[in-house]
Amino acid sequence: MARLRSFQRLVAHFVDIADFLLVYIEEAHPSDGWVSSDAAYNIPKHQCLQDRLRAAQLMREGAPDCPLAVDTMDNASSAAYGAYFERLYIIQEEKVMYQGGRGPEGYKISELRSWLDQYKTRLQSPSTVVIQV
């Protein structure tokens, strides 16, 4: 949840230049599986899409200003983006511009913030256009 709060602050800071989306995927530490000692919630492994949708509501509560999508039960989004179990991406015009490392070690909000800061600077810098006549 601490990472979610950091992400929510990032969303608030860059809402003027980017659209954000959270995708809830397979539970990393289900209560009936590989349990984390610091798990904030007791979420069992998803047996059906309704289980996953219920668990995703907890994420929505942690980041109410960010749209939320839920991965399918065959984990298509997670597989396509190598999310296992959390990952940050920037996609611009259907191209991956930034791909963070796999979580938890590779999940670095600071890297994402840096990329967005540089992008914002480029947007605010006047461009020089040369027209040859």
- Does the pLDDT value for residue 27 go beyond 70? yes
Residue with the bigger pLDDT between 104 and 90: it is 90
Helix (H) or strand (E) holding 4: helix 2-14
> Looking at residue 115, what is its pLDDT?
96
User: Could you give the 3-state DSSP secondary structure of residue 82?
Assistant: coil
User: pLDDT tens digit string along 48-69?
Assistant: 999 999 999 988 887 888 899 9
- Does the pLDDT value for residue 101 go beyond 70? yes
Q: Please, what is the Cα angle at 2 between 25 and 67, to 5 degrees?
A: 45
**Segment 118-127 mean pLDDT:** 87
CB 29 within 8 A of CB 39: yes
> Looking at residue 65, what is its pLDDT?
83
**Segment 16-30 mean pLDDT:** 87
Full set of structural domains in the chain with CATH: 1-124 (3.40.30.10)
For the chain, what percent of residues have pLDDT higher than 90?
A: 48
